[in-house]
Amino acid sequence: MVARSMSSPWLGRSRLSLAGRRRRGVALLLCLFVLAIVTVWITNMLDSATVYQSALRNAIEYEQAVYLANAGVHHTVAELEKDKAWRGVATAGGYPANGSYMATVVDGAVPGTVEITAAGVAGETTRRLRATVQVK
Q: What is the pLDDT of residues 24-48, one digit of tens each?
A: 678 888 899 999 999 999 999 999 9
7 pLDDT more than 60: no
Q: What is the mean pLDDT of residues 79-104?
A: 86
pTM here? 0.66
Tell me if 118 sits within 8 A of 70, measured CB to CB: yes
pLDDT at 26: 84
pLDDT at 45: 95
14 pLDDT more than 80: no
Q: What is the pLDDT of residues 55-66, one digit of tens each?
A: 999 999 999 999
Q: How far apart are CA 37 and CA 123, in angstroms?
A: 38
pLDDT band at 11 (very low <50, low <70, confident <90, very high): low
Q: How far apart are CA 12 and CA 15, in angstroms?
A: 5
Q: What is the mean pLDDT of residues 70-84?
A: 93
DSSP the chain: -----SS-HHHHHHHHHHHHHHHHHHHHHHHHHHHHHHHHHHHHHHHHHHHHHHHHHHHHHHHHHHHHHHHHHHHHHHHHHH-TT--SEEEEE-SSSS-EEEEEEEE-SSTTEEEEEEEEEETTEEEEEEEEEE--
